[in-house]
Chain A
Amino acid sequence: MPRSLILPEFLVHRDEGRCTKCKACIRQCGFGVHAEEPDGRISANEQRCVNCQRCVVMCPVSALKVTANKEIGRENAYWSAERLREIWRQAESGGAILTSMGCDRNYPVYFDHLLLNASQVTNPSIDPLREPMEIRTFLGRKPEKLSIAGPPGEERLAGPLPPGVRLEMPVMFAAMSFGSISKNTVLALAKAAKQMGIMFNTGEGGMNPALGPFWDHMIVQVASGRFGVDSAYLEAGRIIEIKIGQGAKPGIGGHLPGEKVNEEIARTRGIPTGADAISPAPHHDIYSIEDLRQLIYTLKEATDYQKPVAVKIAAVHNVAAIASGIVRAGADIVVLDGLRGGTGAAPKMIRDHIGLPVELAIAVVDRRLREEGLREQVSLVAGGGIRSSADLLKVICLGADAAYLGTAALLALGCHLCQRCYTGKCSWGIATQDPSLTKRVDPEAGAERLVNLLTAWQHEIKEFMGAMGINALESLRGNRLQLRGVGLPQNELDQLGVKQAGEAM
């Protein structure tokens, strides 16, 4: 093999004065960077390093430092180091470049150009420590009219409501399949979801029997590969989600290579061990909106109309019209996955160059559905790049009922965003099936970290709401008047439906 011309992306610095040769780094690195030399020294093969920081965090004497290798050539403002490396890599491999997690390029982040409001004088702010702050929400179809029976004073519901699912706070864990992440990671998410009264999502990985206790908090996904989909699976979930697309790779299918399909994954997905698990780009039974309608109603029939059916799409340019079609096709929940949404594996060019920021997607879909008088019938869920309680509130003010957390949840479990999930070597034990690595995520401890994160966000959300003088989450949904834009041109403000900072109510 000819010598690679690419300099390592990261440099591993070992303070030989501190290093005690304990070899912890050798054991910790999932990528085989550190090795013991015959002379007893510990060396680092920097070409392999992905800068996941595991060895740095775990080194008991803090002898390690991993930094980006800035000196790779005469990069400039136009030819960045990243672009140079891509070209060299493709010149050597002849293949599309794979990556993981969400788009990391510096497109505008609308969240960072939106500011929230607060009350002063004319409207009192509310102290969340004194007054109840209600952040519960519901997902599912709403009837156009509530049918009520009985004489005034003794009214009751005349019939059952369409199925709905209660969330104690407006977040859920996004679809992440067993296969792309480890079983322990799935269990941590499930436990945290149960504890917080929210939902987690199986992704297209099928349903592991260990998830039994968490069915009440489970969204089961039906993706184009239909892995693990049978009636028991559909019955087990509270919500059924048809996955049409994913923000990280709109229009692209999925591929779990055979070497990762161990016996347990094979059983859960209903495929032979070692076989590639391929999710085609389209559902081969959905080539049009009418076909989608058939699948939605097939799933509803199969579950006796007891479960809301969600349809998840990647946010693309025509998202408003597509979402309206999805609602008319009978979906109860529409999930919009934005440009920044993560993935276990995606071609880098696709991840970085297709899609729409979720802020815009939610704003335009919410507006279109209102114009068509459809918005109040369905729920809208935002996914893709929610980083904080502030992002969450902003996306709700733009029109979402709730948001999916994917990357943020994995970060809570220790992920350091190295974007190498597709290698299956995750040193943090998250995106891997290697038993020596997966044991690094303890479902209990992991769940506790997730619960901590969400509890912290709850506190922050309540503070935000109190400041705005709002004590129920339903009064924030689509409340764009609580937002103002800074540093955005008028047409972007118009698309977001938000006024310029400085404009009055």
Chain B
Amino acid sequence: MVERRDDYHQCYEGKIRIPSGCAVAGFINKTGERVNGGTVAEMMALMHERSNGLGAGYAAYGIYPEYRRAYAFHLILADHRTREEVEAILARNFRITEEHEIPVRRTGRYKKAPLLWRYFCDPLRLDRDGALDELLLATTMRINRLAPRASVMSCGQDLGVFKGVGYPEEIAEFYRIDQYRGYSWIGHGRFPTNTPGWWGGAHPFSLGEIAVVHNGELSSYGTNKSVLENFGYEMSLRTDTEVMAYAIHYLRRQNMSWPLVAKVLAPPHWAELERMAEPERELAAALRRIYGGLLMNGPFSIIVAFHGGLMALNDRLKLRSLVAGTSGTDLYLASEEAAIRQVCPRAEEVWPLPGGEALICCAEEESACHVA
């Protein structure tokens, strides 16, 4: 087989941190009905101007019904030698039940794409609660240490991330995302300000059961990073979104509900907090005291896909746009209202998300969709 590689070895990304602006979009059907990736790709395509062709990607839940219980590792690899290394790392803790190259459409632009591989695997032994989370974390960290030769796009159950260098519509075309059907989708287009672009640096970022798309820049990156390092996370991809994904992962490992996760990432101001009633105030104050280092400071809008739902959140000052719209049991999220109107001209309600207030929407449960 011919070795393919991207120009990963000469780019900055993965070595320095890149600030970037972006477009994000999300979709979920509250009844859990699965739709193909065309909708979210169309939303992203409309926001073409918000990306500069240096990175785009999609994540979807519910795309592997035939492998629901398996952990789907999506990998970006430099070559087959790296693949063998990665396989050895996987084999330490997982039994690989199925593996193949991720099917792509070979368009002219992607003659030199990296090797994209998919494994479905089962964990070998799990002796205690939380062991799986740690296993996925440790395995991901171990593989990402090989960056930029290898990076994990995603590793969750029934979850897949597809990303790379290009405009959102190019990446959608390349990965054939209209061929996958999922009940929730998130999409992303990057506008990094000073990088040649690198496949592993595109969004979504995913770890375990969460995938994140993010528009923004974190002034708190240094603090967030050092706190996460204290808890054993390694920032090998050096983008703000990596930190965001790991922070969410860490908080979920602490058994925190999504509204509480949002309260850590974008906590109420102290003045607001003083006005809350007990015991809500006490809890909010404790969250700030204990997890203050994971407060995400600076402009951001994020959409997080998790098992069974989506969460959308803006920074406390609302320094990035994020709009939601509903139509029947569908929820749409996008950086721009136009993207929602494009795919859903008859949206019943369209509203901008307020700063610091999470919108959490869960599928398959009636009226589980609420504003936290």
B65 within 8 A of A: no
Given contacts A469-B298, A480-B222, contact A504 B16 (CB under 8 A): yes
Contact partner, A375, options B230, B256, B259, B267, Cβ 8 Å:
B230
A363 to B18, CA, bound (A): 25
What residues of chain B lie closer than 8 Å to A123, measured between beta carbons? 19, 216-217, 219, 298-299
**0/1 string, B276-299, CB within 8 A of A gives 1:** 000110110011111111010111
- Specify which chain B residues have a CB less than 8 angstroms from the CB of A257 in the assembled complex: none
> Is A187 in the interface zone, CB < 8 Å from B?
no
Size bracket, chain A contacts:
35 or more
Which of chain A's residues have a CB closer than 8 A to the CB of B21?
Answer: 122
Measured CB to CB, the closest approach of chain B to A359, in angstroms, equals 16
B140 shortest CB reach to chain A, Å: 19
Encoded as 1 (CB less than 8 Å from any B CB) or 0, chain A from 111 to 150 comes to 0000000010011101000011010101000110110100
Is there an interface contact between B19 and A505, defined as CB atoms closer than 8 Å? Answer: yes
In the assembled complex, B103 has its CB within 8 A of some CB on chain A? no
| A489 within 8 Å of B (CB atoms) | no
CB <8 Å contact, A472 and B297: yes
Given contacts A152-B257, A155-B283, A376-B227, contact A143 B290 (CB under 8 A): yes
Which residues of A sit under 8 angstroms from B222, Cβ to Cβ?
Answer: 397, 478-482
- The reply to whether A122 and B286 form a contact with Cβ atoms under 8 Å apart is no
Residues of A near B224 (CB, < 8 A) are: 475
A146 touches B287 (CB 8 A): yes
| Distance from B15 Cβ to chain A, minimum over Cβ atoms (Å) | 10
- A142, A152, A471, A474, most chain B CB atoms within 10 A: A474
Do B317 and A474 touch across chains, with their CB atoms under 8 A apart?
Answer: no
Which residues in B have their C-beta under 8 angstroms from that of A374? Answer: 230
With A476-B223, A481-B221 as known contacts, state yes or no: A122 contacts B19, CB within 8 Å.
yes
> Are A157 and B286 closer than 8 Å at their CB atoms?
yes
CA A477 to CA B297, docked complex, whole Å: 12
Check A155–B193 contact: CB distance below 8 A: no
List of A residues within 8 angstroms of B194 by Cβ: 504
- Judging by beta carbons under 8 Å apart, are A134 and B270 in contact? yes
A residues within 8 A CB of B16?
A: 503-505
**Among B18, B259, B270, which residue has the most Cβ atoms of chain A within 10 A?**
B270
Is there a chain B Cβ closer than 8 Å to A164's Cβ? Answer: yes
A155-B257 in contact (CB<8A)? yes
**What's the minimum C-beta distance from A180 to chain B, rounded to whole angstroms?**
34
Contact assessment for A153 and B223 in the assembled complex, using a CB-CB cutoff below 8 Å: no
Question: Which interface residue of A164, A366, A369, A376 has the most chain B CB atoms within 10 A?
Answer: A376
Q: Evaluate contact between B230 and A370: CB separation under 8 angstroms.
A: yes
B20 neighbours in A (Cβ, 8 Å): 122
- Identify A504's interface contact among B17, B227, B317, B319, CB under 8 A: B17
Which residue on B lies nearest to A117, using beta carbons? B219
Check if B259 sits within 8 Å of A153, measured CB to CB.
yes
B214: Cβ under 8 A from any A Cβ: no
Complex interface residues of chain B between 312 and 350 (CB less than 8 A to chain A): 316-317, 319
User: Is A468 interfacial (CB 8 A cutoff)?
Assistant: yes
A373 at the interface (CB under 8 A from B): yes
In the complex, chain A residues whose CB is within 8 Å of the CB of B254: 145-146
- Of the candidates A126, A146, A376, A482, the one whose C-beta lies within 8 Å of that of B293 is A376
Is A470 at the interface (CB under 8 A from chain B)? Answer: yes
Tell me whether A161 is interfacial, beta carbon within 8 Å: yes
Contact A480 B226 (CB under 8 A): yes
Tell yes or no: A156 within 8 A of B by CB.
yes
Q: Which residues from 39 to 93 on chain B have a C-beta closer than 8 Å to any C-beta of chain A?
A: none
A146 touches B286 (CB 8 A): yes
B134 within 8 A of A: no
B220: interface (CB < 8 Å): yes
Roughly how many angstroms separate A145 CA and B217 CA in the complex, as a whole number? Answer: 28
Q: A373 near B231 (CB under 8 angstroms)?
A: yes
> Does B4 reach chain A (CB closer than 8 Å)?
no
With both chains docked as a complex, state the minimum distance between the C-beta of B240 and any C-beta of chain A, in angstroms: 9
Q: Are B219 and A468 in contact (CB under 8 A)?
A: yes
Cβ distance A501 to chain B, nearest Cβ, rounded Å: 15
Which of B279, B292, B299, B317 counts the most A-chain CB atoms under 10 A from its CB?
Answer: B292
Asked if A124 and B227 sit within 8 Å, CB to CB, the answer is: no
A69 to chain B minimum Cβ distance, whole angstroms, is 49
Chain A contacts of B288 at CB under 8 A?
474
A residues 59-79 near B (Cβ < 8 Å) are none
Contact A478 B219 (CB under 8 A): no
Chain B residues near A156 (CB, 8 Å)? 279-280, 282-283
Known: A122-B217, A148-B260. Is A474-B232 also a contact (CB below 8 A)?
no
Task: Give chain A interface residues in 142-201, CB to chain B under 8 Å.
Answer: 142-143, 145-146, 148, 152-153, 155-157, 161, 164
Separation of A155 and B259 alpha carbons in the complex (Å): 10
Q: Specify the chain A residue showing the minimal Cβ separation from B253.
A: A145
Closest to A366 in B: B226
Is the Cβ of B299 less than 8 Å from the Cβ of A124? yes
Q: Which of B230, B269, B299 contacts A373 (CB 8 A)?
A: B230
Given A157-B283, A474-B293, A475-B297: A134 and B259 within 8 A (CB)? no
Evaluate whether A472 and B292 lie within 8 angstroms (CB atoms) in the complex, with A122-B21, A123-B219, A132-B271 already known: yes
Indicate whether A161 sits within 8 Å of B219 (C-beta atoms), given known contacts A134-B270, A370-B226, A474-B293.
no
CA distance A505 to B16 in the complex (A): 6
Q: How far is the CB of A110 from chain B (nearest CB, A)?
A: 17
**Other-chain residue from B230, B259, B292 in contact with A152 (beta carbon distance below 8 A):** B259
Are A475 and B219 within 8 A (Cβ)? yes
Residues of A within 8 A of B227 (CB): 375-376, 478
Nearest residue, chain A, Cβ from B272: A132
Q: Are A469 and B297 in contact (CB under 8 A)?
A: yes
Is B255 an interface residue when CB atoms closer than 8 A count as contact?
yes
Of the listed residues B231, B259, B291, B293, the one surrounded by the most CB atoms of chain A closer than 10 A to its CB is: B293
Does the CB pair B260–A155 fall under 8 Å?
yes
Residues in chain B near residue A138, CB distance under 8 A: 289, 292
Q: Who on chain A is nearest to B220 by CB? A: A475
In the complex, are the beta carbons of A471 and B316 less than 8 A apart?
yes
B364 interface residue (CB < 8 Å to A):
no
- Contact yes or no, A126 B317, CB < 8 A: yes
How far, in Å, is A289 (CB) from chain B's closest CB?
22
Instruction: Given A132-B271, A136-B270, A148-B283, verify A477-B223 contact (CB < 8 Å).
Output: yes
B229 at the interface (CB under 8 A from A): yes
Please tell me which one of the listed residues A131, A376, A399, A505 contacts residue B317 in the complex, with CB atoms under 8 A apart: A131
> Chain A, 431-473, contact with B by CB distance < 8 Å: what is the 0/1 string?
0000000000000000000000000000000000000111110
Closest to A139 in B: B289
B317 to chain A, nearest CB (A): 6
Bound-state CA distance A75–B292 (Å) is: 55
Given A136-B270, A481-B221, answer yes or no on A376-B259 (Cβ-Cβ < 8 Å): no
30 sample A-B contacts, Cβ–Cβ < 8 Å, listed by A number = A122-B20, A122-B193, A123-B298, A124-B319, A134-B269, A138-B292, A142-B289, A148-B256, A155-B257, A156-B283, A157-B283, A161-B286, A164-B289, A373-B231, A373-B232, A375-B227, A375-B230, A399-B226, A470-B220, A474-B288, A474-B292, A475-B220, A475-B292, A479-B222, A480-B222, A480-B226, A504-B16, A504-B17, A505-B19, A505-B221
Contacts from A to B (Cβ < 8 Å)? 119, 122-124, 126, 131-132, 134, 136, 138, 142-143, 145-146, 148, 152-153, 155-157, 161, 164, 366, 369-370, 373-376, 397, 399, 468-472, 474-482, 503-505
The 3 closest A-B pairs by CB, nearest first: A474-B292, A481-B222, A475-B220
Q: What 4 new A-B contacts, CB under 8 Å, besides A134-B269, A474-B223, A475-B292? A: A123-B216, A134-B270, A369-B230, A470-B220
